[in-house]
Every structure is written in structure tokens, then in C-alpha cells.
Amino acid sequence: MEEIIKINRLTLKFIASGKGKNILFIHGLNSSYGLLKNIILKLSENYKCWALNLPEYGKFKMEDYVIY
């Protein structure tokens, strides 16, 4: 299930699926969590899988990710 959270000026999308111990997936550059969907479908049978879809590389500064 895709969800959206807003932090400062960032709008982050993520998916959370399954139950059990947590696994966090973070995709590489020039990619998205769409590439991880098949892995998440399989692992979510036994684990709680979280996949964060990072915003455009270079568009945001580190300070944009910080919550004050």
C-alpha cells in the first residue's frame, strides 16, 4: 500500500507491506521503489517491508530531510 508523508518541503512516498520483523528498502540513484516490488511481495509473507521512494536527487538539501 502506497502512503505519502510530508516533511518540511519534501513529499515522500513509501510502501509498507506484511507483518513480522521490519526490513527497510532504500533504492539507488536514478531509480524508485518500483524495482523492489517483486522482492517485497515475496518477503512480506514473513516480514514487514518498508520501501522509501526518495525525491529527485540533487533537488533537495540534507536540511530538507530534518524535522525540527
| Each residue's pLDDT tens digit, 21-58 | 999 988 776 667 777 888 888 999 999 999 887 766 55
Q: 41 lies in which domain range?
A: 2-65
Kindly report the backbone phi and psi dihedral angles of residue 34, in degrees, each rounded to the nearest multiple of 5, phi listed first: -60, -30
Q: Which residue has the higher pLDDT, 29 or 16?
A: 16
What is the number of structural domains in the chain?
A: 1
- pLDDT at position 11 is 79
Q: Where are the beta strands (DSSP E) in 1-68?
A: 2-7, 10-17, 22-26, 48-53
pTM of the model: 0.69
